[in-house]
Chains A and B, each alone.
Chain A
Amino acid sequence: MTAPRLELADVTKAFPGVIANDDVSFSVAPGEMHALLGENGAGKSTLVKMIYGVMRADAGVMRLDGEVYAPNRPSDARARGVGMVFQHFSLFEALTVGENVALGMNAADVGRDLNDQIVRVSDAYGLSLDPARTVGSLSVGERQRVEIVRCLLQNPRLLIMDEPTSVLTPQEVGDLFQTLRTLVSEGCSILYISHKLEEIRANCDRATVLRGGKVVGACDPSEATARSLAEMMVGMELALPAKSATNFGAERLTVKNLSLATDDPFGVELQDISFSVRAGEILGIAGVAGNGQGELLDALSGERKVSHAAIQLDQTPIGSLGPTARRAEGFCAAPEERLGHGAAPDMSLWENTVLSARSSQGMVRGGVLDLGAAKAFAGKVISAFDVRTSGADRHARTLSGGNLQKFIIGREILQQPKVLAISQPTWGVDAAAAAAIHRAIQELAAAGAAVLLISQDLDELMAVSTTFAVIAGGRLSTPQPTDSITVEEIGVLMGGAPDAAKAAS
């Protein structure tokens, strides 16, 4: 057998106070699509940054096609045939596709006929792209193609992809995998980082699992179950939420013809949104980021007021009430952005309970704060939701993303709301915390609350929600039972108007 395309032996990298990678060894064969799995903080990013030359390892050896490989900077990595597509694109919106591609290449590789090359490569891999177009006018999926084409022009032997599908619609995901398979068939290796287990099971040849900076397992993902992969990542058995019965009670949240102009130049206008959520129901709202999710949550939480009758709680209009009055009626919300919106970063956890739970928990009497009540409630949230922190006096900023999210969700759920609206509750949260959050949401619904769950994670919505709708361009599709909807339908709805989605596919 030939030498592996990439081989890592005992690679170690330490930062002050934490060992990000501890004796990591694994190898990627030529023409293999290799998945790198792990929770947030498991050391995946550090590892690929070292492979791409952004950081240097403290110890250990890397080999590329049998030769020692120690890139000092990304240009070294590119010169050796290693390309990387980052999760966050590094493109200039005001420049054309061709100019952006040229900027990301090593100067020596930029030929005079670059635009012709772009057309040739993009056609060969089914990535239709016009080099003369300005990047600002491209969709997210098209922008990703620019990044990929930029890598392909340098004839990579190894392509690193960091969570490439988190921003794509299902159709775009299909196109991407088509391209990746063509590449693999030509002998290029792909190191694929994702937390979408189904995707990895369907497409990758092998998987290496990291936990706490160490390699804890390797497997053939097509033979593993998503559950066994998740358990390997987390290191414990997961109790996956079981879907609750579909006997819904009375309508608790009713939204009628809700329209809202945006106050943000890059925002989306809400147009004539109508839906209802019954007791026990979890309405999942899918959609590509920036299609009105933020505006919808602002309208529901009361941060932006709308016409009084547009939002009703148990048939009582609340549209023109502010957040405090809505909470008093039993309507709680948790926004997508944790630091700075759902919580004040430089305030303690107990102070952050005062933010949204002060009236329901009697923390204010005659304007004076009852510190005891606030601290007691914060303690209750911390223990009930297993928030890992040394105490309620710690600042919100000091918590990890998943722990802060558990704290915020717990703060709202323990107020026993009649209606809960939450956005992206498990974004950037590890699998164990995500499972705990999902369970809490389902228990709340089972106890008779109506829940509205906005998320970009389709797996999450499929697993948790009982009813399903898609928001696109500020309009909401008609909600339907989650069991009855297909991924193809969701893709068409996420793309906006059905005609446009058909034309693109």
Chain B
Amino acid sequence: MLVLTRKCGEAIRIGNGVTVVLIKAGRGQVRLGIEAPAGVPVLREEVYARIAEANRDAADRTALAALAGRKNNKQGDRS
């Protein structure tokens, strides 16, 4: 991992489109400003991790048979 030291008001550019500005540094936390091109999502890591886990869970568990079978059962119940 690249590690850089920045002062308040200084920035880092990532590629041509992303700028991260250190706005304020306090005890145990910093405030960052992020500029990214339109359409590039910027998420807190823990939010990204929760969505990724939900996606993996949905992909792993949801089998074709589970949904096809469900409808067949429902039709069976009605008849």
Do A and B truly interact?
A: no
